[in-house]
Amino acid sequence: MTQNSAQISLAFIDWAVIILYFIIIIGIGLYLNKFTKSGEDYFLAGRKNSTWVAGLAFLSANLGALEILGLSGSTVQYGMYVAHFYWIGAIPAMIFLGLYMMPFYYGSNIHSIPGYLKLRFDEKTRILNGFAFALMTLLVSGINLYSMALVLRTFLGWDWNICMWSSAIAVGSYVTLGGLMSAIFTEIIQFFLIWFGLLLLPILGIVELGSVNKILGELPTTMSHLWSTAGNPQANAMGVTWIGLALGLGFVLSFGYWTTDFLVVQRAFSSKDLRSAQMAPIFASFFKMILPFIVVTAGLIAWKLDHQASDFLLRNANGTINYDSAVPMLIKRYYPSGLIGLGVTALLAGFMAGQAGNISAFNTVWTYDLYKSMIKKDATDEHLVKVGRITTVVGIILSIGTAYLAQSFPSIMDYMQAIFSWVNAPLFATMLLGMFWKRTSPNGAFWGLVIGMSTSITLFILLRFNMIDIPILGISPSFSDMSNNLWRAWWVWLLTFVLTIAISLVTDPKPESELVGLVKGLTPEEKNTDLPLLHKPGFWAVISIICCIALNIYFW
């Protein structure tokens, strides 16, 4: 992921827009600092947010570098197949989280996902996941910081290190001051900035190149469909079959991310009541569903321009394609002075939303699940808030180190899915069994997680150094990185699932009296029978699923 050699100059009005944005978000952090007194204020935003606020923050926390640069760049590489990351790789899992998993999370009054694992299983499982999540979060934070620095370098021409530290200081300042509440407020601002700042890109591209159908018609058949070429891995650019998509992406990676990744789930925790917490991911699913019309369409336009316009180059000085530079190059092509500043601000907003989500989740897990659990069990609420602020600064500094690691991977998306297959894939098996099978034992969960995560990381290393080739399992150096990620996630999930069951059957489970509120069948359910139809989470979940199915059929 080396930076594109092209540099885009900014006019005075562009500078003004960017500087105003940074002043506003840091000002929000300063203002909210006086309202952030308790641990619940700092780590859970006081649990007083509405569905709209929690839902927008829920989605905005996911609108980081992966969403904007990564998926647009991956569209240049894989074509329409990238839409799978939205329509089967997000919507069903978001609905499942809202309807079935949020009652366990919200009702147990926890601060984090590792906190649930402690209540459901034991302390060692909590600490294991806490360390794994903290490491994963720092790696993902590095991607966001790298991407922010890439944009600053592309548009401003600053030294790489200056770009990196400027990005880190901006994010760290407002999250340190206001905690999750500060992050959520700025994420809502960033949500609208992203939409207004980038919506014009596909519109202007379509005006220049023709309709979306015309653009799709000129793509190779390996890139222009969602499902019709999924029967043969050689017939699509991603090199996967519908089975790999359904199992690896639609089930394991999707559900593993949206239902167990505390980065996004934490936003729903900030809701004022259970119904609002359930509605947050369901409400967000409608916006998630239409994002491909910005992100994927922009990537398709960049692919066509790269093939037919001599003044649009996605290649670096050494001739390699820099997929992740697609959106910055489109901004350079289409936006005049003033709009360039808005476009750059929208990009920075997306990266900062993702980074703020990572850091606020990191400081919560470290403070409650590692520091308080292992170092100072009798820590006061005031002391934990201080530790949370310090942890935010440390997390930002560590993220700078992982940003340099992110540079060594060819694309953001491939790197991200590899990370998710290490942690989220095995964790989803543990969480699924823990919530829906009361016989799952603490030792079964712990050792299933240890073996699952170890296996995933080992397979990744062996594959990266061409030391393993198992094509019958979908894992081979000759396959695409994405195909290997999807299949590895599935096999690791299955291994964790089976081992957890086997070990649980020969070890002692927790007594049912300790599982009330944590497991299906032992948790009182709110039926919402007295609510109007339009206020019921189930009604909107059905509408979301119908819309998702319709989109898959239309772009078949």
Rounded Cα–Cα distance for residues 470 and 272 (Å): 49
Size of the chain in residues: 556
Q: Once rounded to an integer, what is the mean pLDDT over residues 373-398? A: 78
3-state secondary structure of 289: helix
Q: Once rounded to an integer, what is the mean pLDDT over residues 488-494? A: 94
Asked if 60 and 353 touch (Cβ cutoff 8 Å), the reply is yes
Residue 45 has pLDDT above 80, yes or no: no
Q: Given CA atoms 59, 60, 61, 66 in this order, what sign does their dihedral have?
A: positive
Question: Which position has the higher pLDDT, 431 or 165?
Answer: 431
Residue 287 has pLDDT above 60, yes or no: yes
Question: In which band, very low, low, confident or very high, does the pLDDT at 453 lie, cut at 50, 70 and 90?
Answer: very high
Nearest of 146, 92, 94 to residue 406 by alpha carbon: 146
Tell me which amino acid residue 553 is: I
Residue 359 token pair: 């850091």
Q: By 3-state DSSP, what share of the chain in percent is helix, strand and coil, each rounded to 5?
A: 75, 0, 25
Question: Which position has the higher pLDDT, 309 or 467?
Answer: 467
Q: Once rounded to an integer, what is the mean pLDDT over residues 482-498? A: 92
Contacts (Cβ under 8 Å, ≥6 apart) of 519: 104, 120, 434, 435, 436, 437, 438
Which of these ranges, 4-18, 83-97, 234-248, 274-288, has the smallest mean pLDDT? 4-18
Residue 548 has pLDDT above 70, yes or no: yes
Residue 387 token pair: 């530790």
| Top mean-pLDDT range of 76-85, 370-379, 387-396 | 76-85
Question: In which band, very low, low, confident or very high, does the pLDDT at 148 lie, cut at 50, 70 and 90?
Answer: confident
pLDDT of the residue at 518: 83
Rounded Cα–Cα distance for residues 253 and 237 (Å): 20
Question: In which band, very low, low, confident or very high, does the pLDDT at 441 lie, cut at 50, 70 and 90?
Answer: very high
Rounded Cα–Cα distance for residues 54 and 44 (Å): 11
Rounded Cα–Cα distance for residues 90 and 272 (Å): 24
Question: Which position has the higher pLDDT, 112 or 445?
Answer: 445
Question: Which position has the higher pLDDT, 273 or 475?
Answer: 475
Tell me which amino acid residue 385 is: V
Q: Which residues pair with 92 in a beta bridge?
A: none
Rounded Cα–Cα distance for residues 387 and 385 (Å): 5
pLDDT by residue (tens digit) across 521-537? 776 666 666 777 777 88
Average pLDDT, the chain: 79
Which CA distances in Å does 524 have to 460, 464, 502, 516, 519? 42, 47, 29, 8, 10
- Residue 475's φ and ψ, nearest 5 degrees, are -120, 115
Q: What is the CA radius of gyration of the chain?
A: 22
3-state secondary structure of 282: helix
* Reported pTM: 0.79
pLDDT of the residue at 447: 96
Residue 497 token pair: 């699932």
Question: Which position has the higher pLDDT, 229 or 165?
Answer: 229
Question: C-alpha angle 335/337/338, rounded to 5°?
Answer: 95
pLDDT of the residue at 542: 94
pLDDT by residue (tens digit) across 99-116? 888 887 776 666 667 878
Q: Once rounded to an integer, what is the mean pLDDT over residues 45-58? A: 64
**What spatial distance separates the first Cα and last Cα of the chain, rounded to whole Å?**
31
pLDDT by residue (tens digit) across 324-343? 778 888 888 888 877 888 88
Longest alpha-carbon distance in the chain: 69
Determine which helix (DSSP H) or strand (DSSP E) holds 489, and give its type and residue range. helix 481-505
Instruction: Transcribe 417-479 into DSSP letters.
Output: HHHHHHHHHHHHHHHHHHHH-TT--HHHHHHHHHHHHHHHHHHHHHHHTT---BGGGTB-TTS
For 37-159, where are the alpha helices, taking DSSP H only? 39-44, 51-60, 65, 71-78, 84-87, 91-96, 102-107, 113-120, 123-156
Backbone dihedral region for residue 217 (phi beyond 0: left; psi -120 to 50: alpha; all else: beta): alpha
Residue 426 has pLDDT above 90, yes or no: yes
Q: What percent of the chain has a predicted confidence (pLDDT) above 90?
A: 15
Q: Once rounded to an integer, what is the mean pLDDT over residues 349-363? A: 71
Q: What percent of the chain has a predicted confidence (pLDDT) above 70?
A: 80
Task: Provide the CATH number for the domain formed by 12-554 in this structure.
Answer: 1.20.1730.10
Question: Which position has the higher pLDDT, 209 or 153?
Answer: 209
pLDDT by residue (tens digit) across 253-274? 888 888 877 667 767 766 777 7
Which of these ranges, 258-262, 317-321, 336-340, 382-386, has the smallest mean pLDDT? 317-321
Residue 347 token pair: 């990009």
> CA torsion 269→370→139→161, rounded to 10°?
110
Residue 424 token pair: 């989220």
Give residue for tokens 């090199």: 239
pLDDT of the residue at 6: 47
Backbone dihedral region for residue 40 (phi beyond 0: left; psi -120 to 50: alpha; all else: beta): alpha
Residue 372 has pLDDT above 70, yes or no: yes
Which CA distances in Å does 491 have to 427, 463, 484, 487, 530? 13, 14, 11, 6, 43
Which of these ranges, 30-44, 393-407, 474-488, 531-545, has the smallest mean pLDDT? 30-44
Residue 33 has pLDDT above 70, yes or no: no
Question: Which position has the higher pLDDT, 129 or 168?
Answer: 129
Question: Which position has the higher pLDDT, 464 or 261?
Answer: 464
pLDDT of the residue at 176: 60
Rounded Cα–Cα distance for residues 312 and 318 (Å): 16
Rounded Cα–Cα distance for residues 353 and 57 (Å): 9
pLDDT of the residue at 165: 78
Cβ neighbours, 10 Å, residue 528: 15
Tell me which amino acid residue 223 is: M
Nearest of 268, 263, 449, 259 to residue 362 by alpha carbon: 263
Tell me which amino acid residue 379 is: A
